[in-house]
Amino acid sequence: MPTTPLIAYANVGKTFDGGRVVAVDEVSLEVAEGEFLAIVGGSGSGKTTLLRLANRLIEADTGSITVEGEDVRNIDPILLRRRIGYVFQSGGLFPHLTVADNVGITPKLLGTPPAEISARVDELLDLVRLERAQYRDRLPHELSGGQRQRVGVARALAAKPRIVLMDEPFGALDPLTRDALGDDFRELHRTLGLTTVMITHDMTEAILLADRIAVMRGGRLLAQGTPAELSESGDAYVSELLRTPRRQAERISALLPQDGAA
């Protein structure tokens, strides 16, 4: 595994409501360059807070966070966010802007010339497998959920970031779309050499997409490692999380013929 981590959390803590709600409690976590990390946890586990600390949508109370070797406190938050791609839950597209304008927003903020943005938008629509001529000028409400999320991914990639953060990106999609989108993104992650951190509450999805998985509960990082490493963890909650995909896999393989048409 490559040497310096691209994102590193060191003893990070964050509370809300004047200290009454502990969202993130003493978390230390490193994400290596080129790695695909999934953070798994239930609602209220602090996973979303942890993700947002990385691009300073939320500021940490204690500890330090470095991105590409730099302490985020020393980077202007606006510039930091422009160089990190962010995919929002169910897209987070601007409803009054066309697909092309949504995708091109970060380059536009960076002052890229319009012609260049236009070319980049076409390239990105190809990348996320959306027919450019057909979708460029549509408004978000004219798209299906899966198409919206593809646009969301294209927007995150527009300014050629090295890091992409994803907040439950495929959560609201039907299983087929979800599967296709997951595979497509995994492929983009590999070909573009991205470093990806994805939040999910679905352990199956995490196992299928990520290199490594971090498990959070009550603001604490319970365990981290490859799926194989996790299965050796002695933690009861982690084992419980892993039991579901395992049982599903067993039942599916029992019910479906092994060499079927799947």
Partner 1 sequence: MSLLTDPRWAEALDHLPDYLGNHVRVSVTALALGLLVSLPLAILSRHRPVLRAGLLGLASIVQTVPGLALLALFYPLLLALAALSLSWFGFGFSAFGFLPAVLALALYSMLPVLRNTITGLQGVEPAILEAAQGVGMTPRQSLFTVELPLALPVMMAGIRTAAVWVIGTATLSTPIGQTSLGNYIFAGLQTQNWVFVLFGCLAAAVLALLVDQLLALIESGLRHRSRFRAGLGGAGIAALVAATLLPTVMRSQTNYVVGAKTFAEQYVLSALMTQRLKAASLPATTREGLGSNVIFEALAANDIDVYVDYSGTLWANQFQRTDMRPRQELLAELKTMLAKQNITLLGELGFENAYALVMPRKRAEQLGIRTIADLAARAASMSIAGDYEFFSRPEWAALRKAYGLSFRGQRQMQPDFMYAAVASGEVDVIAGYTSDGLIAKYDLVTLGDIRHAIPPYDAIMLLAPKRANDEELRKALAPLLGKIDIATMREANLRAAGNDSASSPDAVAQWLWEKVGRK
Residue 79 near partner 1 by CB under 8 A? yes
User: What is the residue-wise DSSP string for 67-136?
Assistant: ETTEEGGGS-HHHHHHTEEEEBTTB---TTS-HHHHHTHHHHHTT--HHHHHHHHHHHHHHTT--HHHHT
Selected binder of partner 1 within 105, 154, 199, 206 (CB under 8 A): 105
Selected binder of partner 1 within 32, 109, 172, 180 (CB under 8 A): 109
Letters for 227-256 (x = contact with partner 1 by CB under 8 A, - = none) are ------------------------------
Selected binder of partner 1 within 44, 88, 201, 239 (CB under 8 A): 88
Q: Is the Cβ of residue 86 or residue 185 nearer to partner 1 in the bound state?
A: 86
Give the shortest CB-96-to-partner 1 separation in angstroms. 5
Q: Is the Cβ of residue 139 or residue 180 nearer to partner 1 in the bound state?
A: 139
Letters for 140-169 (x = contact with partner 1 by CB under 8 A, - = none) are ---------------x--------------
CA 121 vs CA 98, 132, 150, 205, 230: distances in Å? 11, 8, 13, 28, 39
Inter-residue contact 203 to 242 (CB < 8 Å):
yes
Could you count the other beta carbons within 10 Å of the beta carbon of residue 20?
Answer: 7
* Both structure tokens of 172: 């609201």
3-state secondary structure of 20: coil
* One-letter identity of residue 62: T
Selected binder of partner 1 within 1, 3, 69, 78 (CB under 8 A): 78
Give the shortest CB-82-to-partner 1 separation in angstroms. 3
Inter-residue contact 194 to 20 (CB < 8 Å):
no
3-state secondary structure of 175: helix
Selected binder of partner 1 within 31, 67, 93, 166 (CB under 8 A): 93
Q: Is the Cβ of residue 105 or residue 207 nearer to partner 1 in the bound state?
A: 105
Residues that bind partner 1 in the complex, under the rule CB under 8 A: 55, 57, 78-82, 86, 88-90, 92-96, 105-106, 109-110, 155
